[in-house]
């Protein structure tokens, strides 16, 4: 019988033929079995259930803000449809109503960019959990970034936007709003052509009336604003949109921390 102060000679995991969880086994010596991650990289079993519920809550938050973004896009589409309908409803409606409506669409773009910044906060958190908790579980390997829990905890303690306002609005402009602005431009040109036609009606234009570029230029001006000023403002506006799209596409990817060494080349297009 052992002495009271002597350590008990209990069987160890090594005696039972089981590997020590803190030791990474060489696949060449272990028959090709996957490496067992160190305890520090494991998530305690008691924390798995709260993390799953937290993941579901973040998915719900992101879904709510995604719906708000879709609502803003619907407002922009509805505004464009109303403007075009009013502009072509009567021959005496001036063409300037369409560029002024474009400013309303620009305001809606800014609102959607702000909402996209909020949505991206929840998206980044869920992607962090998916890339560094769910994927290692599926692949039976250690997390690609062992400190992912520290990153998530720091973000919960001090929440911060992951996207700048310019990049967020540029992303929405590149994917959705540029088509609305191009539609407004085409409708504006068609409205000017209808005004300079003999009857002042768009039906004359669609019937094949010959309208020269000089006639179009002569009809661009409105009231005290000459044609060259209106044309210059329109060119500057659409040129600024093009630069905005180009700059936002070249800015650094905020998902670098999420996708680094995660076996992915980057975010999927549908995520934005």
Domain membership of residue 58 (yes or no) is yes
Residue 184 pLDDT level (bands cut at 50, 70, 90): very high
Per-residue pLDDT at 13: 42
Domain membership of residue 189 (yes or no) is yes
DSSP code string of the chain = ---TTSPP-PPPTTTTTPPPTTSPPPTTTTTTPPPPPPGGGSPPHHHHHHHHHHHHHHHHHHHHHHHHHHHHHHHHHHHHHHHHHHHTTSTTS-TTHHHHHHHHHHHHHHHHHHHHHHHHHHHHHHHHHIIIIIHHHHHTS--SSTTHHHHHHHHHHS---SS-HHHHHHHHIIIIIHHHHHHHHHHHHHHHHHHHSSSS-HHHHHTT----HHHHHHTT-BTTB-HHHHHHHHHHHHHHHHHHHHHHHHSPPTTHHHHTTTT-SS--GGG-
Domain membership of residue 121 (yes or no) is yes
Residue 203 pLDDT level (bands cut at 50, 70, 90): low
Instruction: Provide the angle, in degrees to the nearest 10, between the axes of the packed helices 45-87 and 178-196.
Output: 0
Domain membership of residue 31 (yes or no) is no
**Domain span at residue 58?**
46-253
Higher pLDDT, 10 or 168: 168
Q: Using the predicted structure, report yes or no on whether residue 60 has a pLDDT greater than 80.
A: yes
- What mean pLDDT is predicted for residues 196-222? 60
Residue 249 pLDDT level (bands cut at 50, 70, 90): confident
Domain membership of residue 177 (yes or no) is yes
Return phi, psi of residue 42, to 5°: -85, 155
CB-based contacts of 126, cutoff 8 Å, min separation 6 = 55, 58, 59, 62
HSE, CB side, 13 Å, CA atoms: give it for residue 120: 23
Supply the mean pLDDT for the chain: 75
Q: Using the predicted structure, report yes or no on whether residue 272 has a pLDDT greater than 80.
A: no
Q: Using the predicted structure, report yes or no on whether residue 7 has a pLDDT greater than 50.
A: no
Domain membership of residue 16 (yes or no) is no
Domain membership of residue 24 (yes or no) is no
The answer to which of 107-111, 162-166, 196-200 has the lowest mean pLDDT is 196-200
First-to-last C-alpha distance (Å) of the chain: 69
CB 96 within 8 A of CB 18: no
Closest CA to 144 of 15, 4, 256: 256
Q: Using the predicted structure, report yes or no on whether residue 131 has a pLDDT greater than 80.
A: yes
Residue 248 pLDDT level (bands cut at 50, 70, 90): confident
Domain membership of residue 216 (yes or no) is yes
Residue 73 pLDDT level (bands cut at 50, 70, 90): very high
Tens-place pLDDT, residues 143-155: 666 678 888 888 8
Tens-place pLDDT, residues 20-33: 433 333 444 444 44
Each residue of 78-93: b (16+ CB within 10 Å) or e? ebbeebbeebbeeeeb
Domain count, the chain: 1
Per-residue pLDDT at 96: 87
Q: Using the predicted structure, report yes or no on whether residue 231 has a pLDDT greater than 50.
A: yes
């Amino acid at each position: 019988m052992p002495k009271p102060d002597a350590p008990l000679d209990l069987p160890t995991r090594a005696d039972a033929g089981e590997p020590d969880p803190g030791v990474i086994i060489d696949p060449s010596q272990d028959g090709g079995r996957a490496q067992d991650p160190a305890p520090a990289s494991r998530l305690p079993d008691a924390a798995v259930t709260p993390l799953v519920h937290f993941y579901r809550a973040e998915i719900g938050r992101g879904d709510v803000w995604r719906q708000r973004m879709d609502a803003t896009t619907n407002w922009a589409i509805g505004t464009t449809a109303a403007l075009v309908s009013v502009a072509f409803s009567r021959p005496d409606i001036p063409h300037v109503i369409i560029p002024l409506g474009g400013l309303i669409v620009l305001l809606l773009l800014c609102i959607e960019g702000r909402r996209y910044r909020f949505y991206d906060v929840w998206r980044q958190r869920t992607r962090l959990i998916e890339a560094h908790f769910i994927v290692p579980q599926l692949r039976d390997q250690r997390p690609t970034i062992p400190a992912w829990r520290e990153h998530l905890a720091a973000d919960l303690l001090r929440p911060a936007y992951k996207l700048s306002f310019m990049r967020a609005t540029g992303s929405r402009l590149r994917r959705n709003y540029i088509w609305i602005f191009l539609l407004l431009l085409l409708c504006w040109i068609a409205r000017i052509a209808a005004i300079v036609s003999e009857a002042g009606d768009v039906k004359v234009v669609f019937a094949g009336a010959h309208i020269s570029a000089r006639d179009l230029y002569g009809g661009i001006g409105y009231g005290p604003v000459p044609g060259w000023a209106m044309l210059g403002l329109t060119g500057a506006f659409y040129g600024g949109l093009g630069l905005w799209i180009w700059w936002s596409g070249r800015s650094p990817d905020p998902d670098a921390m999420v996708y680094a060494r995660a076996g992915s080349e980057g975010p999927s297009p549908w995520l934005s």
